[in-house]
């Protein structure tokens, strides 16, 4: 996927941030006449957007409104995390930084980010589960610009040919029954990403949480049930073997062939869905015993790194406030296919594009991957979880054995 893949990869990168060897940083320059800072540095994970893009223009305009010039640099998420740590160590951190939500807790642990309350940023209107992804010890360390998450896209024609009503999909049993009918009708069942990266964990989490799984107890019965579900689908031919190597992008490309009944994917594919050439719909990922499964929250936070010159926070606050104002959130989140983090802007988004309605509901039920006190433990747990998924789906291990090994390794590294 265009944005989310980069975003989702960040959690996997976190474990390697401290050993990074890249170097970078950016401090504001001063006006020769006034001695006051005239430029502020801004880093984000959007290297595909240059200064002429809508995003680039918006960042520049927010600097102008704050009375300064913003020097924006877009990095790949891996580079952004590495450079943030090193720049902070060198006392050369950027003034404002946009980072993927799982990275926030790692940067907080390193002492790099300021609390939003310390610089007077108001987060009271932000949806609680969305702000929770950037909250550590009950303190927020950034303001989200938006969120994305997962659901099931379906191909209406494929389901119709198999005599499956998408409204009948209520739980795992009814979904598996639908996949059986689809296969019998000569079509393909479901595609998803089970790759050995954070993308694989991100896609597995709705099923894991939908069974009642606890990330601190990977090998409990709930997790085994979720992994057994996926393994059974692959073994029965309801899901392709290449889910093991599928990214969310290649998984989408499979669904876009028009041969699959279902594709697990995210908000960011809405534009592609409208170009797919077939009638599609979106339903929530079902929990094991019914209802919508909790899904993981994706998206970035605008943060303010710690500065030796605390007087800079005044302008940094103005820049963050501008970028996360209701007006700018609407335009930014529409451009990035994000769901806004506030109810008021979500309402405006749905009015502009009714197709976002199920995604707003999905985001409302989403969980932060580092929430619940996991913080910097999440990347370690996630790495073991995706390894277990790979081990089980490849046929090398049973779901229980794979998750037993994952739990043992995760516990050894997280205490």
* pLDDT one-digit tens code per residue, 156-183: 999 999 999 999 999 999 999 999 999 9
The answer to whether residues 65 and 107 belong to one domain is: yes
The answer to whether residues 200 and 139 belong to one domain is: no
Q: What is the mean pLDDT of the chain?
A: 89
The answer to whether residues 168 and 83 belong to one domain is: no
The answer to whether residues 88 and 183 belong to one domain is: no
The answer to whether residues 250 and 308 belong to one domain is: no
R_g of the chain computed on alpha carbons: 22
Q: Is residue 369 part of a domain?
A: no
What's the domain range around 22?
4-147+298-364
The alpha helices in 73-218, defined as continuous H runs, are 77-89, 101-109, 128-131, 156-161, 172-184, 198-210
pLDDT of 184 higher than 70: yes
Cα–Cα distance, 334 to 330 (Å, whole number): 6
Total number of domains in the chain: 2
- Among residues 394, 396, 389, which one has the least CA distance to residue 194? 389
Specify the CATH number for the domain of residue 57. Answer: 3.40.190.10
The answer to whether residues 354 and 407 belong to one domain is: no
Confidence at residue 355, expressed as pLDDT on a 0 to 100 scale: 85
Outline where DSSP puts E strands in 16-149: 39-44, 69-74, 96-100, 135-136, 139-140, 143-144
The answer to whether residues 275 and 324 belong to one domain is: no
The answer to whether residues 346 and 229 belong to one domain is: no
Instruction: Specify the pTM.
Output: 0.81
Cα–Cα distance, 161 to 80 (Å, whole number): 47
Q: Are the CB atoms for 198 and 382 separated by under 8 Å?
A: yes
Confidence at residue 409, expressed as pLDDT on a 0 to 100 scale: 97
Confidence at residue 407, expressed as pLDDT on a 0 to 100 scale: 98
pLDDT of 139 higher than 50: yes
The answer to whether residues 185 and 273 belong to one domain is: yes
Confidence at residue 347, expressed as pLDDT on a 0 to 100 scale: 95
Pairing of strands 280-283, 188-191: unpaired
The answer to whether residues 125 and 266 belong to one domain is: no
């Amino acid at each position: 996927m265009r944005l989310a893949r980069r975003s989702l990869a960040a959690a996997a990168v976190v474990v390697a941030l401290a050993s990074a060897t890249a170097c970078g940083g950016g401090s504001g320059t001063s006006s020769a006449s006034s001695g006051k800072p005239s430029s502020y540095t801004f880093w984000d994970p959007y290297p595909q957007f240059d200064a002429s893009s809508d995003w680039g223009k918006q960042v520049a305009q927010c600097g102008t409104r704050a009375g300064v010039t913003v020097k924006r640099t877009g990095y790949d998420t891996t580079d952004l995390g590495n450079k943030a740590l090193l720049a902070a160590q060198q006392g050369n951190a950027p003034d404002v930084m946009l980072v993927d939500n799982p990275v926030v807790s790692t940067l907080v642990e390193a002492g790099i980010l300021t609390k939003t309350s310390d610089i007077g940023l108001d987060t009271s209107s932000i949806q609680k589960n969305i702000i929770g992804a950037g909250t550590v010890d009950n303190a927020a360390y950034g303001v989200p610009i938006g969120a994305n998450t997962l659901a099931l896209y379906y191909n209406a024609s494929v389901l119709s040919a198999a005599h499956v009503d998408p409204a009948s999909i209520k739980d795992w049993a009814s979904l598996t029954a639908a996949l059986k009918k689809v296969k019998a009708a000569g079509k393909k069942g479901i595609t998803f990403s089970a790759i050995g990266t954070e993308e694989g964990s991100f896609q597995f989490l709705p099923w894991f949480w939908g069974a009642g799984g606890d990330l601190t107890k990977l090998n409990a019965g709930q997790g085994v049930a979720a992994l057994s579900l996926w393994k059974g689908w692959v073994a029965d031919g309801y899901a392709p073997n290449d889910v093991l190597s599928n990214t969310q992008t290649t998984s989408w490309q499979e669904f876009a062939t028009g041969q699959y009944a279902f594709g697990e994917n995210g908000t960011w594919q809405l534009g592609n869905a409208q170009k797919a050439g077939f009638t599609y719909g979106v339903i929530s990922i079902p929990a094991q015993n019914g209802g919508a499964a909790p899904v993981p929250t994706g998206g970035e936070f605008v943060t303010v790194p710690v500065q030796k010159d605390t007087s800079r926070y005044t302008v940094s606050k103005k820049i963050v406030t501008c970028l996360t104002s209701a007006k700018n959130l609407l335009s930014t989140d529409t451009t990035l296919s994000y769901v806004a983090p506030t109810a008021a802007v979500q309402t405006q988004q749905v009015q502009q594009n009714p197709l976002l309605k199920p995604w707003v509901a999905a985001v409302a039920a989403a969980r932060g991957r580092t929430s619940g006190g996991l913080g910097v433990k999440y990347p370690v747990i996630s790495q073991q979880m995706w390894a277990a998924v790979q081990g089980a789906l490849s046929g090398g291990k049973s779901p229980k054995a794979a998750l037993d090994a994952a739990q043992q390794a995760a516990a050894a590294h997280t205490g």
